């Protein structure tokens, strides 16, 4: 009798292992930590494994087009008739800074453009002081951190500056050839660099800027913080996968699970449709 029970359990476990599957995903760092959290929950509940490597949106797109991955999460808008696009989450792109003993910094798109292109090099520049008369801004050189990998976050901030500042001349791309600053890979590393470097500034998904100071943005006569609904610099991400993928049903089951079982609002992210 015991042998029969053991045999039954063994057969049952083998059947479950045979039915389980594994999906490989690549892409955005902004949404990467959320995908990994969801993947762990999915594996716990379904025994199906999801691996995700946050290599940036451009890298994720490349992996899918070369058939090296099953799905990607990207925050770069583009069109490809061979791919399915499913909305995922959005987050503000924060202008984050590290100024000791200073918070509530206000910037405009023009000031951001001038800082990111090196036209403004010191924190006590008159253009910044005039907008922040109550702040004791130091005479310290501005240290600028930017992304060097293909990034939807870079695409988002550069697209915003391209349409909102006449001083921005670097276009709107996932790769920007910044003439100044220090390049970092991924939102996490960029945010960490700002946190560890006094007098620095950079741009990152607000999810990664939660422990940093984020500049208020004066835009169209409004002064807005990344937490405000009307904040104009928003990063949108999508799941993408091949329409003809042999794992299409498995991918769609994972995406469906994601939307049914994960609520990101506490992380200052939100779903969009």
- The per-residue pLDDT for range 135-151, each reduced to its tens digit, is 999 999 999 999 999 88
- Average pLDDT along the chain: 89
Residue range 31-62, pLDDT digits in tens: 888 899 899 999 999 999 999 999 988 999 99
Mention every residue, 6+ apart, whose C-beta is less than 8 A from residue 106. 131, 132, 215, 216, 217, 218, 223
- CA-based max dimension of the chain: 87
Tell if the pTM clears 0.85, that is, is over it: no
| Stronger pLDDT, 102 or 91, i.e. the higher one | 102
Find out whether 16 and 47 touch, Cβ atoms under 8 Å: yes
Q: Which of 88, 83, 17 is nearest to 52 (CA)?
A: 88
Q: Are 101 and 123 in contact (CB under 8 A)?
A: no
pLDDT given for residue 33 in this prediction: 80
What is the H or E stretch that residue 160 is in? Answer: helix 152-164
Q: What is the pLDDT of residue 266?
A: 52
Q: Classify residue 43 as exposed, middle or buried by CB count within 10 Å of its CB (0-12, 13-18, 19+).
A: middle
Q: Which pLDDT value is given to residue 270?
A: 54
Question: Distance from CA of residue 121 to its chain's centroid?
Answer: 27
Q: Which domains does the chain have, with CATH numbers?
A: 25-90+235-261 (3.40.190.10), 92-234 (3.40.190.10)
The model's confidence at residue 169, banded by pLDDT at 50, 70 and 90, is very high
DSSP code at position 191: H
In 10 A of CB 19, how many CB atoms?
Answer: 10
């Amino acid at each position: 009798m015991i042998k029969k029970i053991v045999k039954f359990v063994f057969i049952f476990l083998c059947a479950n292992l045979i039915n389980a599957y594994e999906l490989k995903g690549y892409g955005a760092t902004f949404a990467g930590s959320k995908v990994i959290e969801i993947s762990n929950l999915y594996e716990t509940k379904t025994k199906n494994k999801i691996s995700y490597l946050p290599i940036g949106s451009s890298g994720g797109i490349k992996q899918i087009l070369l058939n090296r991955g099953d799905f990607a999460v990207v925050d770069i808008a583009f069109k490809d008739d061979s791919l399915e696009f499913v909305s995922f989450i959005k987050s503000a792109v924060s202008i984050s800074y590290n100024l000791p003993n200073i918070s509530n910094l206000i910037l405009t798109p023009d000031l951001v453009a001038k800082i990111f292109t090196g036209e403004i090099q010191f924190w006590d520049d008159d253009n910044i002081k005039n907008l922040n008369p109550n702040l004791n801004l130091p005479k310290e050189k501005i240290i600028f951190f930017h992304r060097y990998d293909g990034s939807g976050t870079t695409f988002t901030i550069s697209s915003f500056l391209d349409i909102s500042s006449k001083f921005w001349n670097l276009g709107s791309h996932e790769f920007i050839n910044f003439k100044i600053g220090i390049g970092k890979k991924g939102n996490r590393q960029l945010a960490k660099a700002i946190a560890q470097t006094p007098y620095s500034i950079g741009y990152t998904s607000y999810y990664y800027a939660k422990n940093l100071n984020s500049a208020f943005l004066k835009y169209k006569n409004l002064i807005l913080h990344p937490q405000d609904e009307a904040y104009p610099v928003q990063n949108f991400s999508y799941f993408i996968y091949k329409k003809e993928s042999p794992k299409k049903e498995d991918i769609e089951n994972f995406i469906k699970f994601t939307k049914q079982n994960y609520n990101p609002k506490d992380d200052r992210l939100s779903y969009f449709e």
